[in-house]
Structure 1
Amino acid sequence: MRMGASRLQLFLLCAMLTHLVKLAFAQRDAYVIYDCSNTNNVSSNSVYSKNVNTLLTTISSNTNIDYGFYNFSVGENFNRVNAIVLCRVDLTPTDCRSCVKMSALELLFRCPNRKEGIMWYMNCTVRYSNNSLFGVMQFEPVQQLSAATVVTDPSGTFNQVRETLLDKLRSEATASASTLRKFATGRANSRYFDIYALLQCTPDLNQQECSDCLNQSIAKVPTCCNSSPGVRVLTPSCNVRYENYHFYRYTLEAPPPSSSTLPLPAEGKGSSTNSSRTIIIVVVAIVSAVLIFCICTCIYLRMRKQGKKVEMDEINSGAESLQFDFCTIRVATDNFSNVNKLGEGGFGTVYKGKFPNGQEIAVKRLSRSSEQGDQEFKNEILLVVKLQHRNLVRLLGFCFEGNERLLVYEFMPNASLDHFIFGTHDYIFSSCMYVYMFQHTCIYIILFICIYICPITPYICLIECVDPSKRLHLDWTIRYKIIVGIARGLQYLHEDSQFRIIHRDLKTSNVLLDEEMNPKISDFGMARLFTLDQSQANTRRIVGTYGYMAPEYAMHGHFSVKSDVFSYGVLILEMVCGQKNNYFQDGENTENLLSHAWKNWREGIASNLIDSTLRVGSTIEIMRCIHIGLLCVQENIAERPTMASVLLMLNSYSMALPVPSRPAFLMHNIVESDMLSDRSFQASQNEASMTDPYPR
């Protein structure tokens, strides 16, 4: 309570000094979507391919362009490559160039040796082609993203208000007098909802072309995502977006400064009096500011000292016998040698070590400058010491000396699950700039990461390469054992431990494997502890990994045991498919793993999801796991099973499984026909009559 009062005092005093409280928007703009499926391949050694590489690696270097629109060309005649870039209108020139750089390099990696391609990356669009692009309105390919929830609107007016707002902004954007920017922003609201919208065209279009592009984009919204609180329609020539929160930075350019003048001071004695008064005010203000700053500093230092003491007392009270001294761990890891480095995460680095008695250990060294790392350190110790289960990683001890925060775990010789299911490895390279000439997958990843980290001088870069042969070590028997083991660990956390614990960051890299490939859930720094009668909570600090986070948690901060169930469902599908849950190319369509799995399930070809390396294994068992995975990732929270129910489904083949409903985070590809979309939604009306336990 005392620390809480001190924090309040610090906030009030600092507010008096600064006179400004700035609100930070949450980062809700993360997406990477690309399309290059309908184009022909070109030789990697051709002049055209070299021109593409030259253009995309240098496209963001022109610092004179500061209004967010790039138009470049490289080459002549048949080898000419044209490119256009559009940044969202509210980006600063620096943010725009940064987005363009990352987008162009990502496009190189995603679409190697293609004649044309387009990338929607965060808040910018990059496209290139051998055809003319400037002044040509292009509507396809088009992508649409929508929120997984619907608006609660008792008035029933949301869709009408949205259509009116978008049509109004379309007219404003097309009528823009600026030749550099064609956009419009606006807001509409009622008692039950708010709508913020931004429409933008590439400035090379004329009024009619811009209007046509925006009209077609707006027309796509009701066909797929009616009543959705947030939608983005992405096309090569224009973009439409609306949300239920204020996502853009400003609405219009600042007006020119006022030309009004100030009155001249009076002459004589009055001027002297005013000067004296001004001096007094300035002196008093400076002295007050210095005093307030000193008080703030004293309170902060006192809070920091008390906080560290309380933090250490809390840890010591729960884990006195587990504390190691720093010298012991430093010797065990050979002074934290890079040779012993096992990996690196958001809060620190993990090293392999060995005690004098020969016991091997894994040491997580948390970042010294991370406040989140401090919280993770305390959280993990206080939680893990209370947990004892064969499918949870065992904490051997910790070290808290000075600025050092170390966690010591049992060593897992087979590392984490992602090393096998995705075949990922960490490698260190000494050069960042010259490896680009090779045409291997790993080299493209090096180019993507290293040019961004060290664009001028080569440095040592840690990168991740893919070795698909690692999956061959995981036959279906081992995968099924891992799936069941993870379920048992989660059930213990949710129902059988002293407290109910929500992990909040379950993913393949947080599942470790022992010598016999038994899974052990690790990394409890993000976990939250509930009382046994508590089932859900809310937070403003969203932590975890996108792709594994349940939609209600990622968007609203609402989490429960069903959030972990969602992550577990994603993990099951990754285990069966052998693919990561990120956007990947499937023929002509771009979709994530959940969309891909759901589409195949609905079309009766779920067997297409099975990893090609699984040549031996029970097909019925594999299909049952796909079924369970889809049940776990359902959009409706109430329909997701508990982990106890999941274990029962895995262990009892006689138990009939319910038909899964639509999963969350479906990404719609508008290139597909509307008829196909309509057909898939109509089919859901008759699901209850299905008698065959699995699709064909």
Structure 2
Amino acid sequence: MHGRVARVTALLAAVLLASSAAAQPWKSCDGASGNYAAGSAYANNTQQLILDLQTNASASPAYFASGSVGAGTAAVVYGLMICRGDVSTNDCFDCGTRAWQDAQPLCNRTRDAALVYNQCYVRVAATNFLASPNNTGMVSVVGGATIPGGVDVAAYDAALRRLLNATAQYAVDSSSAPSSASPRLYFAAGQLVGLDPRVPNIWSLAQCAGDLAPAQCRRCLDDLMALWWNGSGFKPDGASGRFAGSRCNLRSDLGDKFYTNSPMVKLQMNGEVVVPAPAPSTAGKNNSEGKLFGIILPIVFVVVVTAIALYVCKKRRSQGIKLPHGTHTVEDFGSIKSTLLSLSSLQVATNNFDESNKLGEGGFGVVYKGDLSGQEVAVKRMSKGSGQGLEELKNELVLVAKLHHKNLVRLEGFCLEEGERLLVYEYMPNKSLDTILFDPEEKIQLDWRKRFNIIEGVARGLQYLHEESQKKIIHRDMKASNVLLDADMNPKIGDFGLARLFGQDQTRDVTKHIVGTFGYMSPEYVMRGQFSTKSDVFSFGILVIEIVTGRRNTGHYFYDEQNEDIISLVWRHWTEGTIAEMIDDSLGRNYSETEVLKCVNIGLLCLQQSPMDRPTMSDVMVMLSGDDTSSLPPAARPTFFLDRSTGYSYNSCTITHLSAR
């Protein structure tokens, strides 16, 4: 070891003489982990580990290395190094040299230190953070760039969201490894052009540690995007910033490009089209093996996807089911990058679909809780022989595979074997919103802060579907039972079986087959079959009123001697200035009156008769984040089409009751 240290010390001297003005790294030094003494066994192990990481990361096709030194002793050190995916081998090695020099003095010999450079990320710690996919040891950096004056900040933010999401997805989709035991290169760089003449270029970067599974990488990047926009006040006016952690990192900047290769993802604002470029290069490395896989893997993927599509078509024909026109093409199946799971694995996960694991039942099948290799999942099993169930599965499979957002339920995989049609989702321990909100005892869990967070989260998810996903998507069945809650009561929209995918130039469509849930459907949809993003906005308005009042909105549910439905009742109290009488009693007085009034106002605006008078979900997000309720537009009398006297027929509508996913 001493010989290697001497060689590196000599190299350091040369580097420091040549570039004495080199900038120090950004750092995260966890003082709670304690400090170690100079020359101690822990200090020596730290130095040795960084040298090992430096050698291994610069030689790895994934530009990644992890490991430990001092196993079985009190001085064991765990570490990880990730080099930026476009740097050369020499640059990666040199970055490790700087980390070797900086780790001890910059963090005052704390046992948990993370260093972030332009070319790499290095972390060493006394605890085994490598055993967890959690993105600990994180450093946030606010860049110096600001949005030029006169540029629409909301438009900039929306464009940046799309760019970061597309970059993250490409990093996951383009990853490959020589074998299942080898690390993967998760790396993508992006560029956005054409937003505004004053904003020539916006650059982005996404990368994960090479030992993560693809789903874990995507989840890690999604969490960073959530922090970027919603957490800890980091968002630097949407212009320039960086999150770097031990499992993944995300970066964006305005102005000069901060990476060396060509962008893999290019977002063109004139058509809002994500254009993937060739797979990432590994400059300065012997990448013949990578090129070989770059040729073979796309071919294998096309064969697999084609086989899946042909299999589905064959099953349709064998069951006498016609392929629908104007919905999904074979090319749509190319977006399916989820894991194709075996039936046997899901039978084991659910104890052969045992009744004790049943979470809920809907119009198209049953949902079971499962344990898939240590991960809790919800397995949606379509009813056999149901043509409508097969159509729902295809919708969910094709649509949800395209979607990645913290407020949408994540698809983990699917199975099409022996007549079974199975979708596997992340497990949501707090079930669906309706099971808590409308239960007199359970609803006590939902204080006002949680309810407002649910309203915001659902709005954010719908905004993504309508405006930020690669293709515009109308959910068409937005209701309380399709809002699922995680362990922290954060909302995620689920059940995309009735969703409809729109082209970017489409604003509305007409159908002869009315599907959805009684009480949540907009009047133009029920009466004329017209649906658009404003149909989802209407359903969202119903949901907001339900969350504030704690009462269901259904056509047969009327209140007091005046025979009023819940929306009529809320409107009457709103106009009389007595809306406090409609607030859920379980909240007591523990709520923000300003926020409650704002939510009721927004809910009523979403329920306007004409779709043109309803806000977009972007408008809703702006109103929810604002503090001045006096600036909200006044709502006109909302649409009442649920009265018994109307006589409308809902024979083709469906009501789905699910207690969980």
The TM-score, its normalising length taken from structure 2, stands at 0.47
TM (norm. structure 1) is 0.45
Larger Rg: 1 or 2? 1
